[in-house]
């Protein structure tokens, strides 16, 4: 009844996991836990970067921006998802869908560029250590972060606006749990070949090309370390680059499974579970990866904890 009434008002219907109702209660708990972990973990990273002078480096500057992006990505999707998982109504207002479409695409695109920038930072740290402070000075760092945000916002303004303006002829069923461009363009009642080409070009620019830059950066890092022929150098590089490389593997692995797969039957069945991992689970893993694999972050957390404990005494 809730869906029918909402349909009359023009709301979109997020089909999501309604075809598997036995999973919805489990998914509700999983999504809620992941969301809380995302909020707490990323807020902690932003906090310790802001107050710990030992983390005033380019790497953690970009990491704090990545944390902001992760918070925005999950917050644009999860509250609506939790609301739809808790009951039979699977709707989202037109305004809510449009906001979700713009925010998610902007933040996801910005993250693609931020990961490239962080790979360049690691390349400069390992391959150009004597010139690192000059290459990655605060002005350059702010400019690179600004480019990432501008690319994300620009891509969202173009793709999302074109998608929103497509005629839908009353089609309201979105075969996903949130509003995203590939799912939204399928509602159109006109030829969407041009839109699919736009999505492909955007994927090429924001996924494949950045990933090639990241792979190239790490190839140069490996080549530089191989020349040194030192086990200690390998351990240092793994300690410096391991967290970022792990995050890149998870992020791009799931993103390519979603946006590199054009089979409609795939998107209707398995695609939404990859999307769930990409939008909900991955942002909750990033703070854990950087905390567990990074001595600087763990040290900052200990200093923060013991300082607070000491001040209370």
Q: Please state, as a whole number, how many other Cβ atoms lie within 10 Å of the Cβ of residue 152.
A: 24
Tell me the residue length of the chain. 313
**Cα distance between residue 214 and residue 119, in whole Å:** 6
Query: What are phi and psi for residue 54, nearest 5 degrees?
Result: -70, -15
129-180 pLDDT tens trace: 888 989 999 999 999 999 999 999 999 999 999 999 999 888 888 888 899 8
**Cα distance between residue 279 and residue 51, in whole Å:** 29
In the block, tokens 């006109």 appear at 190
70-106 pLDDT tens trace: 999 999 999 999 999 887 778 899 999 999 999 999 9
Between 271 and 149, where is the model more confident? 149
Which pair of structure tokens corresponds to residue 266?
A: 């795939």
**Cα distance between residue 219 and residue 196, in whole Å:** 32
Which pair of structure tokens corresponds to residue 54?
A: 């030992």
pLDDT value of residue 104: 94
- The SS3 assignment for 14 reads strand
pLDDT value of residue 74: 94
**pTM of the shown model:** 0.86
- Check whether domain 2-312 has CATH 1.20.1290.10, yes or no: no
Distance of CA 151 to the CA centre of its chain: 14
- The SS3 assignment for 58 reads helix
**Cα distance between residue 222 and residue 224, in whole Å:** 5
Between 120 and 270, where is the model more confident? 120
Using left for φ > 0, alpha for ψ between -120 and 50, and beta otherwise, residue 100 falls in alpha
Contacts of 283 (CB under 8 A, 6+ apart): 34, 38, 42, 70, 71, 73, 74
**Cα distance between residue 164 and residue 180, in whole Å:** 11
Burial 113-138 (b: 16+ CB within 10 A, else e): bbbbbbbbbbbbbbeeeeebeeebee
Burial 185-221 (b: 16+ CB within 10 A, else e): bbbbeeebeebeebbeebbeebbeebbebbeebbeeb
Considering the chain, what percentage of its residues have pLDDT values greater than 70? Answer: 86
């Amino acid at each position: 009844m809730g869906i029918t009434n909402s349909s009359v008002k023009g709301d979109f219907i997020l089909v999501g996991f309604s075809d598997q109702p036995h999973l919805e209660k489990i998914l509700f708990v999983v999504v809620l836990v992941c969301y809380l972990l995302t909020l707490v973990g990323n807020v902690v990273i932003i906090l310790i970067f802001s107050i710990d002078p030992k983390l005033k480096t380019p790497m953690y500057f970009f990491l704090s921006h990545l944390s902001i992006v992760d918070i925005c990505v999950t917050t644009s999707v999860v509250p609506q998802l939790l609301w739809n998982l808790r009951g039979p109504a699977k709707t989202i207002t037109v305004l809510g869908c449009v906001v979700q479409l713009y925010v998610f695409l902007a933040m996801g695109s910005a993250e693609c560029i931020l990961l490239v920038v962080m790979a360049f930072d690691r390349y400069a740290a390992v391959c150009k250590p004597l010139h690192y402070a000059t290459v990655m000075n605060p002005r350059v760092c702010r400019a690179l972060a600004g480019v990432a945000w501008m690319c994300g916002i620009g891509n969202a303004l173009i793709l999302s606006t074109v998608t929103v303006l497509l005629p839908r002829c009353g089609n309201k069923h979105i075969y996903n749990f949130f509003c995203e461009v590939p799912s939204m363009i399928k509602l159109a009642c006109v030829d969407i070949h041009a839109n699919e080409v736009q999505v492909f070009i955007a994927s090429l620019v924001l996924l494949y090309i950045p990933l090639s830059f990241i792979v190239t950066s790490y190839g140069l890092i490996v080549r530089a370390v191989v020349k040194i022929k030192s086990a200690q150098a390998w351990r240092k590089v793994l300690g410096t680059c391991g967290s970022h490389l792990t995050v890149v593997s998870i992020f791009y692995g799931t993103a390519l499974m979603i946006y590199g797969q054009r089979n409609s039957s795939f998107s209707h069945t398995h695609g939404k579970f990859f999307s769930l991992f990409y939008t909900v689970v991955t942002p909750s893993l990033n703070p854990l990866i950087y905390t567990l694999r990074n001595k600087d972050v763990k040290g900052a957390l200990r200093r923060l904890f013991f300082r607070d404990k000491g001040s209370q005494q």
